[in-house]
Amino acid sequence: MASCPYCATATVENSRVCKNCGRALVMRCLYCAEDIPVLAKICRFCNSPVSPPSPAPMTPPPPPGPLPTGGPIGSERSLLVTFLLMFLTCGLWRLFVQHEIAKELNAHRRRDVLSPGIDVLLTILTCGLWLIYVDFRYAQVLREISTEEGGHISDVSTLCLVLQIGSLFVPGLGLVSLLVLQDEVNNHWKRHQPA
């Protein structure tokens, strides 16, 4: 009668699992696929070593370099001029600014994560309701860029979301939301200016 190599409990001949500890008593040979005792060093059928050859040691990866500083920087826009132009054009200037912010963030990040044209179209088709998403998402992307660059991280996405939802009840808060976003974008571009 055989015994379990782990708990030394007597086992029935040709048992595959120990009834006491539940561990496997046999394993398959990697070369001939025959069942052999679990702790065997050499297969009794093909005389092959049971453990596969150990892989060559891996060299550690090189230490990470400095974080990328991003692509081209966008335009700083005066908040007062932006507000006046939005007011004088009954909000149409907002669509232009929204489009430019998205374009600049995509160029700076060097990949298209925002869709400025589609966002402008959806803003028009939803009579401005899409702006709730737009300001929130643009602020999130700006925060992600700042995190990737390891710079100052300021998250205004929640503030933009609250202001846009509030604009459903208090007209004008949507304009404030864009100004908050534009101010944060301006600050980001200033951090990339040479000292």
Domain ranges of the chain: 1-50, 79-191
- What is the signed CA dihedral for 137, 126, 106, 91, rounded to 10 degrees? -100
63, 71, 62: which is closest to 148 by C-alpha? 71
Angle, vertex CA 123, rays to CA 112 and CA 74, nearest 5? 40
Find the helix or strand (DSSP H, E) in which 109 lies: helix 92-109
88-147 pLDDT per residue, tens:
998 899 999 999 999 999 998 888 889 999 999 999 999 999 999 999 999 999 999 888
What is d(CA 9, CA 179) in angstroms, rounded to the nearest whole number? 76
Alpha helices in 2-91 (DSSP H): 79-88
Range from 46-50, 68-72, 191-195 that averages highest in pLDDT: 46-50
For the beta carbon of residue 88, count every other beta carbon within 10 angstroms: 10
Predicted model pTM:
0.62
For the beta carbon of residue 106, count every other beta carbon within 10 angstroms: 18
**How much is the average pLDDT of 60-72?**
58
